[in-house]
Amino acid sequence: MEKKLPKIEINEKYCKGCHICVEFCPTRVLEMRGFTAAVKNLEACIACMQCELRCPDFAVTVTG
């Protein structure tokens, strides 16, 4: 059975490019693309929510 992946939304209008979500993701799902965070490797996401919790700018939402 295929694993159901979470959905990670990054609001580019809110993201200020602080790197926090990228650096503290335990499975390195995210990366910086230019000045904003982006999803690089969704398959690795364990839905721990740390990126959403720690984003100071209300820019990350993890659902699913």
Partner 1 sequence: MGFDYDKYIRPGKLPHIWCPGCGHGIVMKGLIRAIDALELDKNKTAIVSGIGCASRLPGYMDFCTLHTTHGRAVAFATGIKMARPEMNVICVGGDGDGVAIGGNHFIHACRRNIDMTYLIMNNNIYGMTGGQFSPTTPYGAKASTTPYGNPDPPFDIAKLAIGAGATFVARGTAFHAAQIDKLLAEAMRHKGFSVVEILDSCPTTYGRRNRFKSVVEMMNQLKDMAVPVTAADKMPAEQLRGKVLTGILYKESKPEYVEEYRKLVERVRAEG
Closest CB 4 distance from partner 1, rounded Å:
12
DSSP state at residue 42: G
Task: Report how far apart, in Å, the C-alpha atoms of 39 and of each of 1, 14, 60 are.
Answer: 23, 16, 10
Cβ atoms of 9 and 61 closer than 8 Å: yes
Residue numbers at the binding site for ligand SF4 (CB under 6 A) = 8, 10, 15-21, 25-27, 29-30, 36-37, 45-51, 55, 57, 59-60, 62
Residue numbers at the binding site for partner 1 (CB under 8 A) = 6, 13-14, 16-20, 23-24, 47, 49-50, 52-58, 61-64
